[in-house]
Each structure stands twice: as C-alpha cells, then as structure tokens.
Structure 1
Amino acid sequence: MSRITKWKVEKTKVKVVFRLQFHATHIPQSGWDKLYISFIPAETGKATSKTTKANVRNGACKWSDPIYETTRLLQDIRTKQYEEKLYKLVVGMGSSRSSILGEATINLADFVDALKPTSLALPLNGSDPGPTLHVTVQLLTSKTGFREFEQQRELTERGLRATSDQGSHEESADGKDSSPDQNVNNHMHKVCDLC
C-alpha cells in the first residue's frame, strides 16, 4: 500500500494596523439625518469599532474620525498569499433593522500592500439603489503613520491613567463623553487593548 504524504501548509501570523476613513454619497433625503458606521469582523459578528455620528447634508455624509483596526493576518509561507480577513461595515442611525441604511463587506487582506491611501466605493446592500460608502484604507507602518497611531495611543493611555487617578470622568448632561475627541480617544484605547 502506498502512503500519500500530506504537506503541512505552514502559515505565519502577521500583525498589522489599518486606518480606514469613510464618507457616503447618494443618501436618500428623507429619514436619514445622522449616521454612524459599525465595523464588524466576519469571524466574530461583534462590532470592534464604531465611528461617531455624522450629519447627512445634501445626500452625503462624511465622518471626521477614522477607524484604526489592529488585526493579525495569516500568510502562507510558501506562496506569500494572505487569507481573507472579512469585515462588515454597517451604516445606520441605530441598532434596529429599520434604522440601518445598508451594509458592505471589505477584505482587509486585499490592502496589505496599501502603503499609500487606497480608495474604493462600496454599494450599500439592503438599501434603495444608490447609497455608496467610500472607504479609504491605508496600512500603517513606521513610515506611513504607525508612529502617529502609537503616539495617540500613548497619549490616550496617559490621559486615561490621569483621569482614573483623579477618580472623576467629565460627562455632559446626557451621560455621554463631553467631546468628540474623547470618543475617538476612547475608541483608540479599545483598539489598542487588542494589540
């Protein structure tokens, strides 16, 4: 009897950080006033990041805060190809199904060489024909903003330590953080905990 040798596929994990910036166009005029984006890994189905809410004006919406996603990609050592790393982008006003404008899917493994910002237009599924989510993706390295990402993370951590040492946290009357910058910093801290 002959034995068939099974080749073990050797893979390595590569830790990467992506910066994603968003704007949407062709949004219906009625019913959509403020939107946010949830960033959801396909493998877990749970949102790892959300943008702040942005106003819709003249059928367009632009989010000033980027999403930073730290992840590990699997790379085949022999072929140098990366496995898919799918994420769902959900654009909406709230969590109920009726308050979701639409969804799109992105494979971050496609952008592992995106040292310069790369833009793409994704039609939003589940909505009237027309709404499009424009995404600019960039792989962060020491030359393309990773240092900036690390500095922001350090500042955020120092700020949070100082806040926790004081034992108080400034909040507005509605119970939310008092500044949009703090929301971004809180998001950065959450993402960096995954590092």
Structure 2
Amino acid sequence: MSRIPKRKVEKVKVKVVFRLQFHTTHIPQTGWDKLFVSFIPADSGKATAKTTKASVRNGTCKWADPIYETTRLLQDPRTREYDEKMYKLVVAMGSSRSSVVGEANINLADYADASKPCAVSLPLNCCDSGAVLHVTVQLLTSKTGFREFEQQRKLREKGFQMLTKQNIHDEPVQKLLASTEMANDQVDKVLQLFCAPVFD
C-alpha cells in the first residue's frame, strides 16, 4: 500500500512595518564624538536605513529620530510561527572600519506581535568597553501608528519640497538642508501646520 505524500504547506508573506528607537550606554569616553546607527538586513548586507548623527555625552548617545523598516515576514499558517528575519545594527562615527564602535544582531520576527513597544538591550560586539545598544521595537498597525507613519512620510516629502522652494535671504537653502537637525525642525513645523485641526 503506497503512502500519499503530505502536501507541503505554503508559507504566507506578511507585510509589516516596525519602528525602532535607539540609545547606547557605556561608550568609551575618548575617541567618539558623534555617532549614527546603520540598519542592515542580513540577507542583502546593504544598509536600508541610518539615523542622523547624535552627540556622545558621558558615555551615552541617544538618537531622537527612529528608523522605520518595512519588510515581509514568512509565516507558517498552521503553527502561526514566523521565519527569522535577521538584521545587523552597526554603531559608528564614519564609514571606515576603525570608526565603528560595535555591532549587534536582532531578529525582527521576534517582534511580529509587538503592538506595544518592546525594549531590548544588545551588547555591541567588537567593543572592549562593554557598550550596549538599547533598542525599542514596535510593530505598526492601523491601531498603533501605521496610518500616522504613512501620513508622516508623505508630509515629510511635502515639507522638504516646500523647503527647497522657499527663498531664504539670510542663508542659502542648500546650507539649511545640509544641517539635518535644522531641516528636521522645519519639517516638524510643517507637520504641525498640516496636522492642526481645522474649525469652521
């Protein structure tokens, strides 16, 4: 009697958006001025996002701007479990190897149900000082900010278009845009304008 082969279960692709916020502690006191975090998918090895640079103070560094990562997770429809989705986080001052404080790995599939912010502490590899990267991960859904994320992205694009069209007499527009912090302040003002309630 021949056995009927079991049908292989097709895994489902689930599109998700994560918001990640970072800060580091125990950074060496000397040699590190301003740092940024690169977000690198393990399967491609190329950075998909970077934070702006933030200053190191008393061995700590905190980035105000989060990283948003849109990706697809593979899910087994029977077990509801996700395949791992590994990323490398690199904390650095520049592009050369000597300017890297350290790096850590994170599996975003572990946070596929994290509708509330989850905090995780990741020791940085290749760092003798014991530096730790603290990451707050949240899955964005229609209830936890996905629509706001989409609106913010569109408004930021509009904001930068408006900035480039403005005629600024005191400083050239290019100098303003070159300063990320100043540009972000301007975009925040544009966001407030667009998001302010309108009353009849």
**Range class of TM-score, shorter chain:** 0.7 to 0.9
Q: Provide the residue aligned with 1:171 in structure 2.
A: 174
CA distance in 1, matches of 2:109, 2:162: 37
TM-score relative to the length of structure 2: 0.82
Q: Provide the residue aligned with 1:9 in structure 2.
A: 9
SS of residue matched to 1:133: strand
Matches within 5 A, 1:47-58: 47-58=47-58
Structure with larger Rg: 2
Q: Provide the residue aligned with 1:44 in structure 2.
A: 44
- Stretches of structure 2 that go unaligned for 5 or more consecutive residues are 188-200
- Give the letter aligned to residue 102 of structure 1: G
RMSD over aligned Cα, in angstroms? 2.4
CA distance in 2, matches of 1:129, 1:178: 31
Q: Provide the residue aligned with 1:191 in structure 2.
A: none
Q: Provide the residue aligned with 1:137 in structure 2.
A: 137
- Give the letter aligned to residue 121 of structure 1: S
CA distance in 2, matches of 1:116, 1:178: 33
SS of residue matched to 1:113: coil
Instruction: Report how far residue 21 of structure 1 moved.
Output: 0.3
CA distance in 2, matches of 1:183, 1:42: 29
Q: Percent identity?
A: 68
CA distance in 2, matches of 1:108, 1:114: 10
Instruction: Report how far residue 163 of structure 1 moved.
Output: 6.4
Q: Provide the residue aligned with 1:28 in structure 2.
A: 28
- Stretches of structure 1 that go unaligned for 5 or more consecutive residues are 186-195
Corresponding residue pairs, total: 182
Contact 1:20 / 1:68 at 8 angstroms: preserved in 2? Answer: yes
Q: Provide the residue aligned with 1:193 in structure 2.
A: none
Q: Provide the residue aligned with 1:102 in structure 2.
A: 102
Contact 2:120 / 2:134 at 8 angstroms: preserved in 1? Answer: yes
TM-score relative to the length of structure 1: 0.84
Instruction: Report how far residue 178 of structure 1 moved.
Output: 3.4
Say yes or no: does 1:180 pair with 2:164.
Answer: no
- Give the letter aligned to residue 91 of structure 1: V
Contact 1:177 / 1:183 at 8 angstroms: preserved in 2? Answer: no
Say yes or no: does 1:83 pair with 2:86.
Answer: no
Instruction: Report how far residue 94 of structure 1 moved.
Output: 0.6
SS of residue matched to 1:157: helix
Contact 1:88 / 1:105 at 8 angstroms: preserved in 2? Answer: yes
CA distance in 2, matches of 1:182, 1:13: 36
- Give the letter aligned to residue 16 of structure 1: V
